[in-house]
Amino acid sequence: MSTAVAETGEMARLEIRKGVDGRLAVGGLELVACRREVGEIDGGITLYVWSALPDEARELLRIDLFRNRPHYHAPAENEAETRIPPEDPVAWGIDAITGRAPELLRQGGFDGVAERVDLAALAAAGPAMRGLFDGLAEPTEVSYFEVPRAVLEGLAAS
C-alpha cells in the first residue's frame, strides 16, 4: 500500500496535495484553478467556476481535468460525476468554458447566470485560460481525508 493511503478499519486515509490557486475573471465568471494530486491515484488541474455577477457570488461548477478520470460536478457540490472524454481533458475544459458554459451552467441549475454571462468574452478566453493553466504551480499543500475503503478501492480501480 502506498504511503499516501493508510487504512484504518473500514475507512482509509487519502492524501490530497494542492497547489496555489490561479484566477481569471471573464464574462461574468471567475475561474479559479489549481493543480491537485489525489493520493497516487489521479490528479491534474481542478477548475472551480464561480459567478462574478452582482448578487450571484457562489461556486457553480467544479471541473476536474484529471489524467485518468476527468469529470465535472454540476452544481459544484453535487457528488455525482459526469465523465469527460479522457483524450485531452484540459482542451475539453477550455472548450467547455469558451463554447458551452451556458449549457453546463443550466445543467447545474444556474439558468439565471447562464442568461447573463458574456458569451463573446467567454468565446475569446481560450488563450487566457491556457495561460492560467500553464502557469499553475505544482502542489505543495497537503491534507488528508477519511474515505470509505470501498470508495478508495473504486477510485484506484477506475
Q: Give domain limits for the chain.
A: 5-139
Q: pTM to 2 decimals?
A: 0.88
For the chain, the average pLDDT equals 92
Poorest-pLDDT segment among 5-19, 42-56, 98-112: 5-19
Angstrom distance (rounded) from CA 146 to CA 39: 12
- The string of pLDDT tens digits covering residues 61-72 is 999 999 999 999
**What's the confidence (pLDDT) of residue 3?**
40
Angstrom distance (rounded) from CA 156 to CA 29: 33
CA 109, chain centre distance (Å): 18
Q: Give the rounded percent of residues in the chain with a pLDDT score beyond 70.
A: 94
- Look-up of cell digits 475569446: 124
Mean pLDDT for 125-143 is 97
